[in-house]
Chain A
Amino acid sequence: MPFLPHTNADVASMLAVVGAADIDELFDEIPSNLLNTGRGNNEPAAGDAAGMSEMEMLRHMAERARADETGPCFLGAGAYDHHIPSAVWDIASRGEFMTAYTPYQAEASQGTLQLVYEFQTMMSELTGMDVCNASVYDGGSGLAETILMAVRAGERRSRGGPAGGRRSVALAGAVHPLYAAAARNIVGHQGIDIVRLPYGENGLADPSLLTELSEPPAAVVVQQPNFFGLLENVDAITDQAHECGALTVACVNPMTLGLLKAPADWGDGGADIVCGDGQPLGIPMASGGPSFGFICTRQSLVRQLPGRIVGRTRDLDGNPGFTLTLQAREQHIRRAKATSNICTNQGLLVTAATIYLSLLGPEGLRNVAGACHARTRDVVAALDLSRRFDAPYFHECVLRLGRPARPVVESMASRGILGGLALGPYFSDLSDCLLVCATEKRTTSDIRQFANALQDAVGRAA
């Protein structure tokens, strides 16, 4: 009984208080045909009935983990191999953070609540927006929540006005295809239509396409840097979206905002809602989760924001303290009329990101962003392959291999190198293209190894 404290004497005295002869009697309200009473004929768990010791379990899991260890990672596409300061997870893994529940009892949760308030401040600073929520699941599902929010905001903003009743959202062609898929799968159930705008020959969104849509959208979503690693003309897109009476939704990588223009400063009016995935901020790639999604917005739209929000207030003695606020938006109060069904969020990852941003500071984050760009520039320079798109790139770029990319990726993987993402499965016109990424962790030697392996693999596939 690995985690049970009960002695036989405990069980006997507890049953006596309850007035039951044995534990089975406590299940006497359950129809007997449903009850698995037989010892042995019921196999709810894995393998061994007795269970493993911690030592055995760790050995079993470690063997599996070791099998997946690889060499240097040049794969990005939404999950990035950054350095994580040692202090981040030393502190985030403290039991007081890790084993607390959602801070419903504010007075017993000031640690988590103050931390989230600090997080909201940092994310607002990075994006230039007024407020940030305390996280949603990830970048993909977060985009869906953002689209639902934008449609709701449009309905409220212009009851009877120009944006009223708009149920479609325009998505730039180079928004992450897996975000786009998740968003469509979620918002489709509310009859919201996602219109994908094609990307141009330069890999970028063309703002003029917005004027050609059959019906004006509630919002326009653009990703910066986009899925191909390219810098979109966000000023022109923002202005054009506003011209059409649509909200501008910015999907961003928060790490890049150490260097890149805050979405609030895009174009004349700035983006209206900013979303993205926080994985680059001190969170391991860990097969894609847990990371966290975030949504920032203007004060005027805060009541449409899904997820938890922490506010500063005062206690009975007049001292400042923190509490969950605007809960009337949420499912446990508003039920069927809530802004979202989200309950559990990604709080522990927000904890890690807050510590990460404190350790990096403005200079550290800018230099991480700069180093990522510089290493990717080094990768491009080390290869005699052409880029598929000629627009400026940040820390990912698309290489044209001149032959199917998939076998090339497989061949590199067999040498222990994650060489990038073959784009064919996502964009049929890019099946000979490879999306590569370099972070600040990649050394000159990593890049040389990558370049050799890629050139070999391309040569072998020829």
Chain B
Amino acid sequence: METIFDLARAQRRAGAQVPAPESVEDLPKSALREHPPALPEVSELQAVRHYTRLSGLNYSIDTQFYPLGSCTMKYNPRGTHRAASAPGFLDRHPLAPVSVSQGFLACLHELQEILQRATGMGSVSLTPMAGAQGEFAGVAMIRSYHAARGDTGRNEILVPATAHGTNPATASMCGCVVREVAVGPDGDVEIEALKAAAGPATAGLMTTNPSTCGLFERRIEEIAAIVHGAGGLLYYDGANLNAILGKVKPADMGFDVLHLNLHKTFATPHGGGGPGAGPVGAGELLAPYLPGPIVEKTAEGYRWTEPPRTIGRLSAFMGNAGILLRALAYALMLGSDGMRRVGEFATLNANYLAARLGQAGFDIAYPNRRACHEFIVTLAAQKRRFGVCAMDFAKRLLDYGVHAPTTYFPLLVPECFLIEPTETESKEEIDAFVDAMASVLAEAESNPELVKSAPHDLPARRLDDVEAARRLDLRWQS
């Protein structure tokens, strides 16, 4: 589609959006620009039509089944968007005095308490702006804890080989060294490998549970004991909390600190890349180190407070407030019964879909294990037999009007799809996905070229990533 710049003509404008000119003679000439920036010059209708049309080129939850593993693409209730869009919330200045912020602070306090109860953690800070920033906060808290005890030799973060890329990247960003721990053929962490890795250099272990293989780590308590025994602490990556929401509390598994992805588990929209929110919860040991500010309830009302040994703020203000309000609205509509059902029905949908795909001839990576809210299909056999790889398969699925599952992650399983239907999808949608998968499998056998050259019916045919990186074209030029 043509770009907004192709539509522009000199001196055209959206006149209703242009304030009257004012004299700026008093500003020093040396500070002013000599040439106006080449922003598009279009009418209001042109802009509205252009971006409305662009929106139509996207797949989204509102328009397609979107079983992207580890991303929890569930329905984003419209009511939460409306709740957060009240003028009193949208127009509130981040540095407004608390005397005129009691409504907002009450909301945050309520959400803190909900997340405390859902995770079993005694304290929660809502400020991290995404999962990766929550991870940063958690590792920084672990480091600060060891440093405060004069235990300065601990700079290793253990991560299972199946970890999300953000875990090792976070450890590095916190100045730690990453040590990977092997995962066994049953998908669980290898206990002997963990015992060998844990020691006086261990700052902590970061892990998701259920793991990125979609499996519940059955020996999590033993893992916790080993890490704690070595003097390290445990970080829970909440990326997969949706699977066990209302069923298992991370604190009970032995975790010391965690983050939640509200844009996954608490149904806030992903926005084509963000924003998210990654609140951090901590037990007694680490609560004093939480990032601030946190909301505290006093006899005189709500107020901001900083934990006594805080790692400090990680953004200018107090986080992605608008996302926090949406998550609160969602939690209020769920209630405690609804929250438990999230984990139950996410798990039911995943196990049903795994069983159906197994019956349809697909290889489930861990056939003897229960799927949690997601599971892995490996297409290694199809690649061997038909020359059709997971990427080809994914692109062909797009032609069937469904978004592809996560591909090539976790790295441990060859030619894999990580599939997460979420609890808000109906049996019919899941059945339609099974039909699409079966059709692509039949095509892979009868007409592999059709699959290898997919997609055929989307706004673009397969795009050349190599060319994109080799001949960088990162901005429009006339």
Q: Which residue of A131, A176, A299, A359 contacts B44 across the interface (Cβ within 8 Å)?
A: A359
A222 within 8 A of B: no
Among B59-67, B194-202, B279-287, B435-443, the one that faces the other chain is B59-67
A residues 76-104 near B (Cβ < 8 Å) are: 77-79, 81, 85, 87, 90-91, 93-104
**30 intermolecular pairs with C-beta atoms under 8 Å apart:** A11-B348, A23-B345, A57-B332, A64-B88, A65-B89, A99-B61, A105-B403, A108-B64, A109-B59, A118-B5, A137-B133, A138-B129, A185-B313, A186-B136, A284-B322, A286-B321, A287-B321, A313-B467, A321-B463, A327-B469, A334-B165, A336-B171, A336-B172, A345-B273, A345-B275, A346-B129, A347-B275, A350-B273, A373-B27, A413-B100
In the complex the two chains form, what is the Cα distance from A298 to B54 in whole Å? 28
A357 at the interface (CB under 8 A from B): yes
CA distance A178 to B174 in the complex (A): 20
Whether B100 contacts A68 by the Cβ 8 Å rule is: yes
For B461, the chain A residues whose CB sits under 8 A away are: 107, 315-317, 319, 321
- Please provide the chain B residues from 194 to 248 with a CB less than 8 Å away from any CB of chain A in the complex: 215-216, 218, 220-221, 244-248
Interface string of B82-123 (1 = CB under 8 A from A): 111011111111111101111110110010011001100000
A111 touches B56 (CB 8 A): yes
Q: Is A331 an interface residue (CB 8 A)?
A: yes
Q: Are B269 and A78 in contact (CB under 8 A)?
A: no
Taking the complex as formed, is A383 at the interface, i.e. its CB lies under 8 A from any CB of chain B?
A: no
Are A99 and B340 in contact, CB atoms less than 8 angstroms apart? no
CB proximity to B under 8 Å, residues A360-383: 360-368, 370-371, 373-374, 377
Q: How far is the CA of A97 from the CA of B73 in the complex (A)?
A: 14
| Interface status of A174 (Cβ within 8 A of chain B) | no
Of A78, A106, A182, the contact of B314 (CB 8 Å cutoff): A182
**Structural contact, B27 and A394, CB atoms closer than 8 A:** yes
Contact indicator A361/B40 (Cβ below 8 Å): yes
Give which listed residue, B40, B345, B458, contacts A107 with CB less than 8 A.
B458
Q: Is the CB of B87 within 8 A of A69?
A: yes
Query: B residues within 8 A CB of A322?
Result: 463
Among B94, B136, B218, max chain A CB count under 10 A is at: B94
Q: Which residue of A lies closest to B278 (CB)?
A: A344
Q: Are A49 and B336 in contact (CB under 8 A)?
A: yes
A52-B335, A131-B474, A360-B14 known; A289+B129 contact, CB < 8 A: yes
> In the complex, what residue of chain A is closest to B115 when comparing beta carbons?
A44
A338 CA to B138 CA, complexed, in Å: 19
Cross-chain contact of B114 among A45, A186, A262, A345 (Cβ < 8 A): A45
Report Cα–Cα, A337/B39, bound state, in Å.
Answer: 36
Check B38 against A362 for contact (C-beta < 8 Å).
Answer: yes
Residues of A within 8 Å of B20, CB to CB, are 367, 371
- The answer to whether B315 and A413 have CB atoms under 8 Å apart is no
Question: Known: A341-B166, A410-B99. Contact between A357 and B39, CB under 8 A?
Answer: yes
Contact A374 B336 (CB under 8 A): no
Instruction: Tell me how far the C-beta of A100 lies from the nearest C-beta in chain B, rounded to whole angstroms.
Output: 4
Which residues between 13 and 29 of chain B lie within 8 Å of chain A, taking CB atoms?
13-14, 16-24, 26-28
Smallest CB separation, A140 vs chain B (Å): 3
| With A62-B86, A186-B314, A374-B24 as contacts: A20 and B169 at CB distance below 8 Å | no
Among A121-129, A195-203, A209-217, A445-453, the one that faces the other chain is: A121-129
Q: Would B54 and A313 count as touching, CB distance under 8 A?
A: no
What residues on A are CB-neighbors of B244 within 8 Å?
30
Instruction: Give residues of chain B (26-77) contacting chain A, Cβ–Cβ below 8 Å.
Output: 26-28, 30-34, 36-42, 44, 47-48, 50-52, 54-64, 66, 68, 71, 73-77
Determine the chain B residues whose CB is within 8 A of the CB of A94 once the complex forms.
Answer: 52, 55
A51, B333: Cβ atoms closer than 8 Å: yes
**Hey, which chain B residues are within 8 Å of A333, CB to CB?**
165
Of B5, B320, B369, B463, which one neighbours A121 at CB under 8 angstroms? B5
Find out whether the CB atom of B351 lies under 8 angstroms from the CB atom of A285: no
Say yes or no: B462 contacts A260, CB within 8 Å. no
Residue in B18, B275, B331, B359 whose CB lies within 8 Å of A344: B275
Q: Which residue of A lies closest to B291 (CB)?
A: A185
* Bound-state Cα–Cα, A119 to B269, Å: 21
A78 to B93, CA, bound (A): 10
Interface residue A160 (Cβ < 8 Å from any Cβ of B): no
A101 with B345: CB separation less than 8 A: no
Could you tell me if A138 and B316 are in contact, using CB atoms closer than 8 angstroms? yes
Contact residues in A for B168 (Cβ distance below 8 Å): 331, 335-336
- Determine if B347 and A26 form an interchain contact, defined as CB atoms under 8 angstroms apart: yes
Q: Which of B73, B403, B423 contacts A4 (CB 8 A)?
A: B423
**B297 at interface, CB cutoff 8 A:** no
Q: Fill in one digit per residue for A313-330: 1 if any B CB lies within 8 Å of its CB, else 0.
A: 111110101110111101
CB <8 Å contact, A361 and B41: yes
Cβ-based interface call for A231 (8 A): yes
Is residue A402 contacting chain B, with contact meaning CB distance below 8 A?
no
Residues of the A chain whose Cβ atoms lie less than 8 Å from the Cβ of B99: 410, 413-414
* Residues of chain B with a CB closer than 8 A to A36's CB: 246-249, 340
B17 touches A360 (CB 8 A): yes
B464 and A112 contact, CB distance less than 8 A: no
User: C-beta contact mask, A162-196 vs B, less than 8 Å → 1, else 0?
Assistant: 00000000000000101101101110011100000
Among B118, B311, B352, the residue within 8 A (CB) of A17 is B352
The answer to whether A91 and B272 have CB atoms under 8 Å apart is no
Which of chain B's residues have a CB closer than 8 A to the CB of A73?
A: 91, 93
What's the least CB distance linking B235 to chain A, in Å? 13
User: A269 at the A/B interface (Cβ < 8 Å)?
Assistant: no
Tell me if B136 and A341 are in contact (CB < 8 A). Answer: yes
- Flag if B92 contacts A287 (CB, 8 Å): yes
Instruction: Tell me whether A48 is interfacial, beta carbon within 8 Å.
Output: yes
Whether B31 lies near A260 (C-beta < 8 A) is yes
- The smallest C-beta distance from A102 to any residue of chain B, in angstroms, reads 5
Beyond A101-B272, A181-B312, 5 extra complex contacts between A and B, CB < 8 Å: A70-B100, A81-B91, A105-B403, A107-B458, A311-B469
Stretch of A238-246, A302-310, A454-462 contacting B (4+ beta carbons < 8 Å) = A302-310
Whether A46 is near chain B, meaning CB under 8 Å from some CB there, is yes
Q: Which residues of B contact A290 (CB under 8 A)?
A: 129, 274-275, 320-323
Q: Does B150 contact A (CB under 8 A)?
A: no
Given contacts A26-B347, A285-B93, contact A364 B18 (CB under 8 A): yes
Q: Is A301 located at the chain interface by the 8 A CB criterion?
A: no
Determine the residue in chain B with the shortest Cβ distance to A58. Answer: B83
B298 within 8 A of A: no
* A253 interfacial by beta-carbon distance below 8 Å: no
Q: A49-B337, A68-B89, A348-B272 are in contact. Are A362 and B474 (CB under 8 A)?
A: no
CB of B393 closer than 8 Å to a CB of A: no
**A63 CA to B424 CA, complexed, in Å:** 29
Q: Cβ of B475 and Cβ of A284 under 8 Å apart?
A: no
The CA of A70 and the CA of B474, in the complex, are separated in Å by 42
Let me know if B318 and A361 touch, CB within 8 A: no
Given A325-B472, A338-B165, answer yes or no on A15-B348 (Cβ-Cβ < 8 Å): yes
- Cα A106 to Cα B464 in complex, Å, equals 10
Query: How far is A328 from B165 in the complex, measured between Cα atoms in Å?
Result: 12
B17 contacts A348, C-beta separation under 8 Å: no
User: Do A87 and B322 have beta carbons less than 8 Å apart?
Assistant: no
Q: Is B460 within 8 A of A107, CB to CB?
A: yes
